């Protein structure tokens, strides 16, 4: 576990809000953090309540807290942005969330790790459809009536290439948490306005590739909700899903959509962080032409590598699996034509050429 724990000082020194442990043990086999007892909720729990029971006032408070945190994230990212070497990037623990889950750590072979264990040569079950990996990975994709340019096999292949540490130094590095999904964020509501603070900065770093730094938070706090990733058992009773496979074409459909609070969180991420940060990179000639491909791969691999999304393999079922792979397709592939949730997100954060 070298390098994955006890990195809170990096975040605190950068000026980001973080709950610091009162005691740390780093003895081999006894890696323990002791924190002051909290009565606050995790932000993820607050938001789940709002997914299920929308409340306009509470949503507004939560969205303001999110905007404040993103303003802090942006300030630190701009202040700490710096050129990085490939060797510096390689040492960052954030890769344990992405590329390291796609390869065999001993041999370096791809596919390996979770990618191979979860998906390669496995069976994929959707409503009324069951496919072997060979069929699944090579199928032409149609998601909610929209044809996609890439197959699932091509999406994974692109991710292994785009997220390789050696290919991520061209947009500089920043100091960041790296794994700031909202189960790692406290919601402190004792003041006039709620505030957010980090904990468990296991993947924090000072040379995190800038395009990777907020990818995890962007996906898991917005596109992963409501419910389909973490509450798969509720999906079938809430959303309609359909699937079909014919002539090498896999068609997936669902009526899943972002809840009002997730729309507000995505809006804060777009307006307060991504738009100004990418504009800064572009202005200083630090935004590579491949930035969209890199970000697409990072967003797609957030759900694909965090847990096994195949139905009946872990916590997922045919309905939730259909939604999961639909989102991976939307993130990882451009559509043949038209727009969708992810193309609109990327369009909004693309710096102006003028």
Spell out the per-residue pLDDT of the chain, length 354, in tens.
444 455 888 999 999 999 988 887 777 777 777 888 888 999 999 999 999 999 999 999 999 999 999 999 999 999 999 999 999 999 999 999 999 999 999 999 999 999 999 999 999 999 999 999 999 999 999 999 999 999 999 999 999 999 999 999 999 999 999 999 999 999 999 889 999 999 888 899 999 999 999 999 999 999 998 889 999 999 999 999 999 999 999 999 999 999 999 999 999 999 999 999 999 999 999 999 999 999 999 999 999 999 999 999 999 999 999 999 999 999 999 999 999 999 999 999 999 854
Question: 124: helix, coil or strand?
Answer: strand
pLDDT of residue 2: 45
To the nearest 10 degrees (0 to 180), the angle between helices 318-332 and 341-349 is 30
Closest Cα to residue 292, out of 245, 333, 326, 250? 333
Helix, strand, coil proportions of the chain in percent (round to 5)?
A: 45, 15, 35
Question: Would you state the pLDDT for residue 353?
Answer: 59
Number of domains in the chain: 1
Is the residue at 207 inside a domain? yes
- According to the model, what pLDDT value does residue 338 have? 97
pLDDT for 1 equals 41
The CA-atom distances, in angstroms, between 125 and each of 9, 60, 316 are 44, 39, 10
Is position 299 within any domain? yes
Tell me if 343 is assigned to some domain: yes
Domain housing 89: 8-349
In a domain, 148, yes or no: yes
- For the whole model, what pTM was predicted? 0.95
- Answer whether residue 172 is part of any domain: yes
Of the candidates 297, 310, 318, 333, which has an alpha carbon nearest to the alpha carbon of residue 117? Answer: 310
Kindly state whether residue 78 falls inside one of the protein's structural domains: yes
pLDDT of residue 3: 45
Query: CA–CA separation, 174 vs 170, rounded Å?
Result: 12
Instruction: Judge whether 1 lies within some domain.
Output: no
- 3 domain residue, yes or no: no
């Amino acid at each position: 576990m070298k390098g994955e724990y006890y990195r809170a000082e990096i975040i605190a020194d950068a000026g980001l809000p973080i709950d610091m442990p009162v005691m740390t043990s780093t003895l081999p086999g006894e890696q323990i953090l002791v924190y002051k007892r909290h009565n606050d909720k995790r932000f993820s729990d607050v938001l789940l309540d709002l997914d299920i029971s929308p409340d306009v006032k509470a949503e507004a408070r939560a969205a303001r807290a999110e905007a404040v945190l993103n303003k802090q994230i942006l300030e630190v990212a701009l202040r700490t942005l710096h050129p990085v070497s490939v060797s510096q990037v390689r040492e960052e623990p954030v890769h344990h969330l992405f590329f390291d889950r796609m390869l065999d750590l001993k041999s370096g072979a791809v596919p390996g790790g979770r990618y191979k264990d979860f998906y390669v040569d496995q069976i994929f079950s959707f409503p009324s459809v069951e496919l072997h990996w060979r069929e699944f990975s090579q199928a032409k994709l149609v998601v909610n009536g929209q044809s996609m340019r890439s197959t699932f096999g091509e999406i994974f292949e692109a991710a292994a290439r785009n997220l390789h540490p050696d290919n991520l130094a061209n947009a500089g590095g920043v100091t960041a948490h790296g794994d700031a999904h909202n189960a790692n964020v406290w919601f402190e509501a004792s003041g006039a306005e709620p505030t957010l603070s980090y904990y468990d900065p296991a993947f924090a770093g000072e040379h995190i590739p800038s395009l990777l730094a907020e990818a995890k938070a962007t996906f898991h706090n917005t596109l992963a909700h409501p419910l389909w990733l973490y509450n798969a058992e509720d999906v079938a009773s809430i959303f309609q899903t359909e699937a079909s496979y014919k002539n090498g074409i896999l068609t997936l459909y669902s009526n899943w959509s972002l809840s009002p609070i997730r729309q507000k969180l995505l809006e804060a991420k777009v307006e307060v962080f991504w738009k100004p940060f990418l504009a800064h990179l572009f202005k200083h000639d630090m935004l590579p032409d491949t930035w969209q491909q890199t970000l697409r791969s990072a967003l797609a691999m957030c759900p694909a590598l965090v847990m096994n999304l195949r139905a009946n393999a872990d916590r997922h079922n045919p309905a939730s699996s259909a939604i999961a792979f639909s989102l991976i397709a939307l993130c990882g592939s451009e559509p043949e034509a038209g727009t969708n949730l992810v193309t609109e997100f990327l369009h909004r954060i693309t710096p102006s050429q003028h």
